[in-house]
């Protein structure tokens, strides 16, 4: 495909956000008679799914301690449910299984899920939790559990398949998707700060509106847009903290146990919900019985035919480096630095064995040959920034919990069409200066 000289809407990134925005914008343009998918160009320096969306575990859940995140997730689950076949979405449900230190907070999540009509059940007390869990899996043995939140909606989707589902639907609306086009800079208007063109490795593309859906590379696009590298944040106590770096990286650690996915079914032979366990029970090695940790730890897992086994992960770690110096490329499995190593494999397999007897002694079948893990770029409070900058640039910076947020692109499209979205409002950049921060939870994960 030749490079167009100009387009109305230029979208940078063919991940879940770029593609979802393209699809929904095309539909809305057509519906309102204001244009069509032919007005939209998606460019990607790699190809469809070459960023975080293409390696995501694909878990879709509502369970968030922050009310604004829950409302956004409920909206996104509706988008997943709108076309499960095209999006390769499996509505198996999701379970948050927690220790006493998280009990009260998870109880509020349950109450608020009831308030917004998001179907879930909540089990409290160690004995009732054990009974509920053995009712699902007769080999359940995780310790230190005093609450179980079982979301009946949500589940997971197959990463690349869902992206091609989005891309096919967008292309059917006339959207053009150009791989191998890297944005290197922007051209600005002479009388305003608005972007008038993308400068790419293949030449200039004039444009009227830009959407940035660049995943972990957002830091680079942010710099190209000359946005601040450090910001001031008003804390909950009213104190202003100056010079806080805008971006930081965490490395996600995930892997696959090479067993038959069928071995992890419920007692009645069904595909199980996605399991997420946090606990403060000591974790012992499944190899030699040594203590791995006596601090709060967590894991998630699901049987996955796409990955060919039991796929999941554990808490990520913070990359202890100046964000500007972190090597994002080569990304994901191709990275020499940010893939999982033996420590993760030992720990995660021991976590699985802690939770269910069927996983004991299975570390030998871990899929060592398939490299896994990947970087995520996070904002100062670890929650997304969805906002307009320079008059005509919408930046979608999801703080790396956004594969599940397939509905964000629909809301962004709505805003481009001129209708503000209440669901996106709590995620504006201005929240940092105003001190309108999201509440933080006791979970060991930065995105809960």
Ligand X SMILES: Cc1cc2nc3c(=O)[nH]c(=O)nc-3n(C[C@H](O)[C@H](O)[C@H](O)COP(=O)(O)OP(=O)(O)OC[C@H]3O[C@@H](n4cnc5c(N)ncnc54)[C@H](O)[C@@H]3O)c2cc1C
Interaction site with ligand X (CB under 6 A) = 12-18, 43-46, 50-53, 55-59, 182-183, 213-217, 252, 254, 373-374, 376, 396, 398, 400-404
Spatial strand order of the sheet with 94-98 comes to 120-124, 147-151, 94-98, 274-279, 297-304, 309-318, 248-257, 374-378
Is 23 in contact with 412 (CB distance < 8 Å)? no
* Angstrom distances, CA of residue 75 to CA of 26, 153, 276, 361, 407: 19, 12, 21, 40, 6
CB of 126 to ligand X, least distance (A): 28
* Angstrom distances, CA of residue 280 to CA of 102, 363, 408: 10, 22, 34
Helix (H, G, I), strand (E, B) or coil at 262: helix
Of 144 and 213, nearer to ligand X (C-beta) is: 213
Of 69 and 123, nearer to ligand X (C-beta) is: 69
CB of 280 to ligand X, least distance (A): 24
Tokens at residue 160, please?
């690349």
Name the nearest CA neighbour of 377 among 251, 254, 255, 253: 251
Of 56 and 326, nearer to ligand X (C-beta) is: 56
Of 137 and 156, nearer to ligand X (C-beta) is: 156
Give 120-176 as a DSSP string. Answer: EEEEESHHHHHHHHHHH-TTB---S--EEEEESS-EEE-HHHHHHHHHHHHHHTT-E
CB of 330 to ligand X, least distance (A): 11
Of 123 and 214, nearer to ligand X (C-beta) is: 214
Tokens at residue 390, please?
């320079």
CB of 391 to ligand X, least distance (A): 20
**Torsion sign over Cα 237, 316, 404, 301:** negative
CB of 329 to ligand X, least distance (A): 9
Of 197 and 214, nearer to ligand X (C-beta) is: 214
Of 404 and 431, nearer to ligand X (C-beta) is: 404
CB of 128 to ligand X, least distance (A): 28
CB of 360 to ligand X, least distance (A): 25
221-259 burial, b at 16+ Cβ within 10 Å, e below that, comes to bbebbeeeeebebbeeeeeeeeeeebbbbbbbbbbbbbb
């Amino acid at each position: 495909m030749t490079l167009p000289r100009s387009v109305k809407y230029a979208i940078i990134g063919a991940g879940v956000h770029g593609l979802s925005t393209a699809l929904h914008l095309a539909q809305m343009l057509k519906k309102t008679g204001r244009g069509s998918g032919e007005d939209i160009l998606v460019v990607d320096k790699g190809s469809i799914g070459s960023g975080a969306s293409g390696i995501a575990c694909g878990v879709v859940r509502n369970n968030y301690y922050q009310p604004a995140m829950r409302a956004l997730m409920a909206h996104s689950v509706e988008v997943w449910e709108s076309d499960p076949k095209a999006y390769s979405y499996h509505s198996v449900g999701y379970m948050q299984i927690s220790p006493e230190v998280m009990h009260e907070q998870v109880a509020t999540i349950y109450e608020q899920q009831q308030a917004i009509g998001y179907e879930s059940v909540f089990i409290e007390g160690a004995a009732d939790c054990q009974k509920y869990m053995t009712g699902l899996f007769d080999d359940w043995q995780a310790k230190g559990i005093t609450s179980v939140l079982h979301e009946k909606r949500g589940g997971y989707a197959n990463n690349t398949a869902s992206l091609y589902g989005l891309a096919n639907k967008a292309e059917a609306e006339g959207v053009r998707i150009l791989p191998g086009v890297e944005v290197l800079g922007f051209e600005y208007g002479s009388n305003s700060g608005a972007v008038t063109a993308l400068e790419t490795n293949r030449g200039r593309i004039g444009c009227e509106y830009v959407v940035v859906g660049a995943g972990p590379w957002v830091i680079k696009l942010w710099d190209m847009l000359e946005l601040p590298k450090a910001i001031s944040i008003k804390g909950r106590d009213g104190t202003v903290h100056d010079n806080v770096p805008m971006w930081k990286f965490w490395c996600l650690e995930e892997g696959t146990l090479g067993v038959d996915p069928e071995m992890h079914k419920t007692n009645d032979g069904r595909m199980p919900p996605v399991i997420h366990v946090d606990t403060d029970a000591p974790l012992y090695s499944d190899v030699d019985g040594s203590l791995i940790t006596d601090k709060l730890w967590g894991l998630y897992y699901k049987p996955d035919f796409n990955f060919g086994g039991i796929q999941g992960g554990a808490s990520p770690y913070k990359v202890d480096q100046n964000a500007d110096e972190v090597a994002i490329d080569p990304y994901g499995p191709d990275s020499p630095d940010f893939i999982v190593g033996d420590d993760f494999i030992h720990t995660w397999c021991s976590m699985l064995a802690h939770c269910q007897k069927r996983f004991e002694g299975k570390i030998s079948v871990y899929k060592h040959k398939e490299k896994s893990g990947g970087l995520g770029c996070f904002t100062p409070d670890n929650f997304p920034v969805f906002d307009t900058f320079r008059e005509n640039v919408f930046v979608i910076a999801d703080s790396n919990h956004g594969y599940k947020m397939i509905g964000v692109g629909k809301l962004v499209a709505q805003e481009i069409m001129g209708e503000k979205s209440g669901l996106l409002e709590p995620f504006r950049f201005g929240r940092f200066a105003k001190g309108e921060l999201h509440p933080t939870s006791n979970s060991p994960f930065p995105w809960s």
